[in-house]
Amino acid sequence: MGLITLTLGLLLAGALLIAFDRDPVHAKIYGLVASTAAFLSSVALAVQFDPSDAGLQLSERMTWIPTVGAEFHLAVDGVSLVLILLTTFLTPLILLSSWNSVSDRVRGYVMAFLVLAATVIGVFAAADLLVFYVFFEFSLVPMYLIIGIWGGKGRRYAAVKFFLYTLLGGLVMLLGVLYLYAQAGTFDYEAIRALDLGIVEQRWLFVAFALAFLVKVPLFPLHTWLPDAHTEAPTGGSVFLAAILLKMGTFGLLRYSLPLFGDATIEFAPWLLGLSVVGILYGGIVALMQKDIKRLIAYSSVSHMGFVVLGTFALNATATSASVVQMINHGLSTGALFLLIGFLYDRRHTRQIAAFGGLAKQVPVMAGLWLVVSMSSLALPGLNGFVGEFPILLGTFQEVRWAGVLAAFGAVLAALYLLWAYQRMFHGPLEGADNLNTTDLKPLEIGVLAPIVVLIVAIGLYPKPLFDVVEPSVDRVLNEVGVVSDEDVAALDGAEAEDDDEAESLSAPSRPAVPSTNE
């Protein structure tokens, strides 16, 4: 057992303790301790990780189902490592945010989040396709329960819609997994990665895998489950869904669709770039029309995740590396926005933008933090959103100019819907007696948001460590697709220059020796 298994085990152990202890207060404590310990374990994992190694590292392997050659095999690369850190970082903050707001079935609530975090980490760390599929599909169960039990009035409809959409996409992927097993005789990721598949096989397999991942992202037009799920989910569920669960889709594209089906990736990339641009613009325009602030942020996720898919299929080292960084940025900024919406809802029990006005006079701390997080989400220079979104647009513009130009309007739309919502809610005259009684953030709520805001600023000012971790793994994926990275281009240019110099020296006519004066 290594650190990856330990991280998983700590979360599951916390859930097991809660199952045998009926005290809801103890459940909160167990959940917080287990999730914090899992975060520390993931930090230790990051310390042992070698950023210069592009392959899977810190492998942990155990025989699981020997009759079919399936192993419980876990390992991490740069992309999966940063997503595991994001998961373990946010999980204790989510549990803290609901410390006082969730009073019904507290034990089940905390257990669901611990199991959900464990399954998501399993998705990011799986190095066996069967293990990956099991974790990928099982993650639906705790999220379904979180929405269906602790959600709003339309929770049952939203939970069933979420479950069916993502389950059906996963079942199509299962057919692809079984086909690859028949070809390789094993579910081992590296063995399947080494298969030489024909272009027809790659096309069908790419569609099977990409469908499951694009539903999870979700990419237009597979996005319709997301606004309902966000609107009806409790605050913690919305945070986990936006910040972490959606990243399973974009991670799957990078880990499986691109390297396993490189030729098909190049064929389908223009279509996916087009859908990404449509999703970016569609999500921004629809967000502008929303009257419910939570639904507005839900549609903003459709737009922002479109940027991640755009960078992925630009097949450019700059854009694709930035798309991974943008996964982290979106998780932090959108997660913080959903936390703030939840804190405001606890005070006013409404999410209608028109019900607020002039709140900055009553809740200046909340207004200040809301503004910082909104600026992060709209990619203000100096904050984390900019260092992810700008390189995506730059790299895409270098490869597919029309996609980069059109996607840039998505950034304009983000400024419109975020700043317009902020202006209507926090500025102007105070409207209604309820606004006069709104209390500002409490120390616990500030403590939940403070670490996220610190990371938002830190990444915005100095993103190099994050890029250093993800770039080698991204370059390896692009090389397997058949796209040459920027470093390889420079190396090739240098080698060609040396060859030209050598050829020139060999082809130059020999000159007779000039006798010295001594002779």
**How does DSSP assign 166-191, residue by residue?**
HHHHHHHHHHHHHHHHHHHSS-BHHH
pLDDT of residue 494 exceeding 80: no
The chain-wide mean pLDDT, for the chain, equals 87
**Which amino acid belongs to residue 160?**
V
pTM, 2 dp: 0.88
Highest-confidence range of 164-168, 388-392, 478-482, by mean pLDDT? 388-392
pLDDT of residue 431 exceeding 70: no
> Which pLDDT score is estimated for 507?
44
The answer to whether the CB of 288 falls within 8 A of the CB of 420 is: yes
Q: Rounded mean pLDDT of 256-274? A: 91
Q: What is the pLDDT of residues 390-400, one digit of tens each?
A: 999 999 999 88
Q: How far apart are CA 87 and CA 240, in angstroms?
A: 8
Q: How confident is the model at residue 512 (pLDDT cuts 50, 70, 90)?
A: very low
> Which pLDDT score is estimated for 432?
60
Q: How far apart are CA 392 and CA 389, in angstroms?
A: 5
**Which amino acid belongs to residue 402?**
W
> Which pLDDT score is estimated for 491?
45
Residue identified by tokens 């237009």 is 220
pLDDT of residue 103 exceeding 50: yes
Say how many Å lie between the first and final Cα of the chain, rounded. Answer: 79
Residue identified by tokens 């009926």 is 22
> Which pLDDT score is estimated for 508?
45
**How does DSSP assign 427-484, residue by residue?**
SSS--SHHHHT-----HHHHHHHHHHHHHHHHHHH--HHHHHHHHHHHHHHHHHHTPP
pLDDT of residue 12 exceeding 70: yes
Q: Rounded mean pLDDT of 500-506? A: 48
Q: How confident is the model at residue 509 (pLDDT cuts 50, 70, 90)?
A: very low
Q: How confident is the model at residue 433 (pLDDT cuts 50, 70, 90)?
A: low
pLDDT of residue 144 exceeding 70: yes
**Cα 460–chain centre separation:** 17
Sequence-ordered list of residues with C-beta below 8 angstroms from that of 114, at least 6 positions apart, any chain: 11, 12, 14, 15, 18, 31, 34, 35, 91
> Which pLDDT score is estimated for 435?
61
pLDDT of residue 174 exceeding 50: yes
Q: Rounded mean pLDDT of 211-239? A: 89
Q: Rounded mean pLDDT of 428-457? A: 83
**How does DSSP assign 13-57, residue by residue?**
HHHHHHHH---HHHHHHHHHHHHHHHHHHHHHHHHH--TT--S-E
Q: How confident is the model at residue 506 (pLDDT cuts 50, 70, 90)?
A: very low
> Which pLDDT score is estimated for 434?
59
Q: Rounded mean pLDDT of 414-441? A: 80
**Cα 217–chain centre separation:** 9
pLDDT of residue 386 exceeding 50: yes
> Which pLDDT score is estimated for 221?
87
The answer to whether the CB of 391 falls within 8 A of the CB of 318 is: yes
State the Cα angle at 129 between 238 and 308, rounded to 5°.
45
Delimit the domains of the chain by residue range.
279-481
Task: Record the tokens describing residue 181, joined without a space.
Answer: 């097993």
pLDDT of residue 495 exceeding 80: no
pLDDT of residue 6 exceeding 80: yes
Pick from 207, 266, 303: nearest CA to 400: 266
Q: How far apart are CA 97 and CA 25, in angstroms?
A: 15
Q: Running DSSP on this structure, what letter comes out for residue 242? A: I
